[in-house]
């Protein structure tokens, strides 16, 4: 079996990480907190075993608690959301999937990928039937 390895980090390079274990869960979160924090209509998080994630460069990592149990971490320079910790799951760390280098697949099994907090999505969100274009056209 091939060695599993991903790298990633923020936009400005102030925060970098290496992942050596595949994700156990990946979801598009539509909750109102994620939408506000990210500035998007949903965000994709991948949950990895904490033991498989190492921050190689993290001096610029700043934290913000969005609830009593959810602690989010982002770059203090460029503002890029990097990760989150959820107290009921101490052995997992959520990585903002878009920060993984080169759009690499986080390694989760296909059957665990889903939309979370679907009932909280913005009412106009549609995926099927929406044109897909390259660039900004």
**What pLDDT band is residue 108 in, cutting at 50, 70 and 90?**
very high
Q: Is the pLDDT of residue 135 over 90?
A: no
Is residue 133 in a domain? no
For residue 91, what are the domain limits? Answer: 6-120
Beta bridge partner(s), residue 53: 19
Give the number of domains in the chain: 1
Give the number of other CB atoms < 10 A from CB of residue 44: 20
* Cα-based distances in Å from 77 to 20, 109, 119: 26, 34, 34
The pLDDT value recorded for residue 24 is 97
Mean pLDDT of the chain: 93
Q: Which helix (H) or strand (E) holds 70?
A: strand 70-75
- pTM: predicted TM-score of the whole model, two decimal places: 0.91
Is residue 126 in a domain? no
Distance in angstroms (rounded) separating the CA atoms of residues 32 and 42 = 9
Q: What is the pLDDT of residues 68-89, one digit of tens each?
A: 999 999 999 999 999 999 999 9
Q: Is the pLDDT of residue 127 over 90?
A: no
Is residue 128 in a domain? no
Is residue 72 in a domain? yes
Q: Which CATH number belongs to the domain containing residue 57 in this structure?
A: 2.170.150.70
Is residue 129 in a domain? no
Distance in angstroms (rounded) separating the CA atoms of residues 9 and 12 = 8
Is residue 96 in a domain? yes
Beta bridge partner(s), residue 63: 73
Share of the chain above pLDDT 70, in %: 97
For residue 82 the two structure tokens come to 């990097």
b or e along 118-137 (b: 16 or more beta carbons within 10 Å of the residue's beta carbon)?
eeebeeeeeeeeeeeeeeee
**What pLDDT band is residue 18 in, cutting at 50, 70 and 90?**
very high
């Amino acid at each position: 079996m091939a060695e599993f390895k991903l790298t990633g980090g923020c936009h400005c390079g102030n925060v970098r990480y290496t992942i050596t274990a595949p994700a156990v869960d990946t979801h598009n979160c539509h909750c109102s907190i994620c939408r506000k924090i990210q500035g998007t209509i949903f965000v994709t998080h991948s949950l990895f075993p904490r033991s498989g994630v190492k921050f190689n460069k993290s001096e610029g990592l700043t934290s913000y608690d969005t609830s009593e149990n959810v602690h989010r971490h982002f770059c203090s320079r460029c503002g890029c959301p990097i990760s989150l910790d959820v107290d009921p799951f101490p052995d997992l760390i959520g990585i903002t999937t878009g920060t993984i280098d080169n759009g690499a697949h986080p390694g989760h099994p296909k059957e665990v990928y889903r939309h979370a907090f679907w009932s909280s999505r913005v009412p106009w969100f549609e995926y099927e039937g929406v044109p897909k274009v390259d660039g900004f056209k």
